Amino acid sequence: MSEANQMDSLFSSLSFYLTRWEKQAEIAAALEDGRHVVVDRYSYSGIVYTAAQSKLVSEVDWAWCRATESGLIKPDVILCLAPEAMVEITARDGFGQRPSETASFQTRVLTYYSRLSREMENELGTSTSEVDQVVAGDSKAPLDSKPKLWNWIQSTRQTIDEIHTCIMAILDPLL
């Protein structure tokens, strides 16, 4: 990645971070009112997309990417819908119309999401592994007594209702 492109990537990441800061008061007020807040890709996507834009991310770069979330309200649970294989993403209608829509880039994104989830679960003492995926359609939540922060849902060939059932199995104990 050229130096100019890397700077554009960092500025883009910071602009998303600033947008999230702008929403903090609104989210905090909703939580204080006892409401649940569900946000689509609100947090952590900036970390992994910024890291994925560079093919070689040093530990310093990774720490910088992670530091951009410092001070923001942290989620109680994260749900990640994941494919069984990258070919399922690349086969979608319209895939490839954006610069970030290449198999190699999306593989890096998934790799960094996996790294981030492992690191955060280790920090919380709720270690996760690749085996901890929940298959949509399986109405059983993971058998852990302590809920995991990151919940990977294998959503390949699943209906919306099956994915919904899986999500609710994860969320019901938290509600």
From residue 18, alpha-carbon distances to 14, 15, 41, 70 in Å are 6, 5, 15, 12
How do the domains of the chain map onto residue ranges? Answer: 3-174
Give per-residue pLDDT as tens, 110-119: 899 999 999 9
pTM: 0.76
Tell me the helix, strand and coil percentages in the chain, rounded to 5.
Answer: 55, 5, 40
Give per-residue pLDDT as tens, 126-143: 665 544 545 444 544 444
In the prediction, which pLDDT does 50 show?
83
In the prediction, which pLDDT does 4 show?
60
In the prediction, which pLDDT does 130 show?
47
Mean pLDDT of the 60-87 span: 86
pLDDT at 77 over 50: yes
